[in-house]
Structure 1
Amino acid sequence: MAGHVVFIHGLWIHSAAWEPWLDLFSSAGYQAAAPGWPGDGDTVAQTREAPERVAGFGVQDLTNHYAEYIAGLPESPVVVGHSFGGLIAQKLLAAGLARSAVAIDPAPVKGVRALPFAQIRSGFPVLRSKKNAGRSVMLTHRQFRYGFGNAISQAESDRLYERWAIPGPGRPIFELTAAKKDPASPALVDLDDSDRGPLLILGGLRDHTVPEIVARQAAALYKPGTNTEYRPVPGRGHSLVFDRGWREVAETVLEWVRRQDRAQLR
């Protein structure tokens, strides 16, 4: 076997959306798993039926949740995360809990200065009320279309919403908005990349929720930068890991993971 790979989903999307990736990585010899966030039900329907179960969890809670999962594995895994999962993947890598990591359209680490309007608008369903910091929030079809499905058709966006969208905690978004002034922000990541495994950051050029400049600036923060790679993904929005173009992204990630594993065996 080629080792373990742990996939971490982002806000508002159920972990089952990783199923095609699990099949692809398993066929390549990896032991792949996609554990959900704390409070998530086993299915989309179960999570929607109990939205209160996901409320109140913050970035560090999510990171601890996955750190505990990794502690039960026989070896350090590769961690692949999307959106907030990409931020968590970077935190796990910096903590020495992963041998390498991929962050796809990742929520910004502390230090990213860009704050495009599209990102603000995508977070508005949470930020419009301070009470949402302790609540769960479910996007509407229209909000999902703007934040996730803007680079695909309306029909596909609606199908993806029905299949994968779930309520998510509002707290992580409030934590990101406070990161600039909070010296102990949970978005803080050790940006010295000289003594940790390799990191690949991907940024969708049409992403609204995490605009490409946000992902690009995050990659540029790492110093000396020799162990961090950034790649833009043309024409893709925030749904890039689970829409009809998922395979192109997944095969890019798989090829990179294989290359890093081969390099670490030398």
Structure 2
Amino acid sequence: MTSVLFIHGLWLHASSWAPWEDLFRDAGYETSAPGWPGVPDTVEEARATPESIADHGIDDVVAHYAKIIEGLDSKPILVGHSFGGMIAQKLLGQDLAAAAVAIDAAQIKGVLPLPLSSLRVTFPVFKNPANQHRAVSLTAEQFRYAFGNAITEEESDRLYEQWAIPAPGKPLFEAAAANFNPHSPAKVDTANELRGPLLLMMGGRDHTVPEAITRSTLKQYRHSDAVTDILEFADRAHSLTIDHGWREVADAALAWLKAHSL
């Protein structure tokens, strides 16, 4: 049975993938959604112990999932959201996955656009350099701008209460410095000709990872003949994996996998 490994991003707990796991299991996949290193098993524990989440960088997270993949019988399909989408691309570039779906993926090294909305989303982290070694929480209002701007305030606040957790600041500092660091952990092997297929998904109203970032990410793969596709949900924002319209996104991912005999 083919395994699907779901990888969450910043500020969302791994358990937010539960509806996706149910859907993919019903479609015949074996699924798992392990948290980032240091992330406790529940939202409540994660909120109560932010220090356990703090100071984990991109390389730590990649190594964490690579070790999980080592324990599987075969290369899994990866589905990642936000920074989880970046992690999925790194693992795919390292030939550790059969395919990857990267949804509103954080910018990799080489991506130059820096939209103002992205700066506003990350300001709670970047306003204090010490946050590089801390875990930072968003307020409900900040979450609404970063994730829930295309849904009602009521739904955004409900999702915040249900899934939001503190996030390590370190990956954001690493990504921000990526284009000035030749050995940046945000670097992905985009020229790999032998990797599995990649689908980049994006929300057209996303404040956190605007369309310009995803389209620039696609360009980074121009030197590889491996399959790289892109799909836009024009009216969706960063909450597209957890809000009322998640099923449309998940079904599109399943259809893409089927089209590539995965």
TM-score, normalized by length of structure 1?
A: 0.96
- In the TM superposition, residue 224 of structure 1 has moved relative to its aligned partner by 3.3
Separation in 1, partners of 2:183, 2:224? 23
Extract unaligned runs of 5+ from structure 2.
Answer: none
Task: Find the counterpart in structure 2 of residue 171 from structure 1.
Answer: 170
Task: Find the counterpart in structure 1 of residue 237 from structure 2.
Answer: 237
Task: Find the counterpart in structure 2 of residue 123 from structure 1.
Answer: 122
Separation in 2, partners of 1:120, 1:95? 30
Separation in 2, partners of 1:193, 1:176? 21
Matching residue's letter, 1:255: A
Separation in 2, partners of 1:247, 1:80? 14
Measured against aligned partners, the alpha-carbon deviations of 1:136-175 in whole angstroms (never above 9, x if no partner) come to 0010001001000001000000000000000010000000
Q: Where do 1:27-42 residues align within 5 Å?
A: 27-42=26-41
Per the alignment, in what secondary structure is the counterpart of residue 232 of structure 1? strand
Task: Find the counterpart in structure 1 of residue 148 from structure 2.
Answer: 149
Task: Find the counterpart in structure 2 of residue 135 from structure 1.
Answer: 134
- The runs of at least 4 consecutive aligned structure 1 residues that moved more than 4 Å come to none
CA contact (8 A) 1:44 1:165 kept: yes
- In the TM superposition, residue 255 of structure 1 has moved relative to its aligned partner by 1.0
Q: Where do 1:93-242 residues align within 5 Å?
A: 93-226=92-225, 227-242=227-242
Per the alignment, in what secondary structure is the counterpart of residue 130 of structure 2? helix
RMSD after superposition: 0.9
Matching residue's letter, 1:99: A
Q: Does 1:71 align with 2:37?
A: no
Extract unaligned runs of 5+ from structure 1.
Answer: none
Separation in 2, partners of 1:242, 1:134? 28
Q: When the two structures are aligned, how many residues end up with a matched partner? A: 261
Per the alignment, in what secondary structure is the counterpart of residue 260 of structure 2? helix
TM-score, normalized by length of structure 2?
A: 0.98
CA contact (8 A) 1:193 1:228 kept: no
Per the alignment, in what secondary structure is the counterpart of residue 73 of structure 2? coil
Measured against aligned partners, the alpha-carbon deviations of 1:21-53 in whole angstroms (never above 9, x if no partner) come to 000000011001100011111110011111100
- In the TM superposition, residue 259 of structure 1 has moved relative to its aligned partner by 2.1
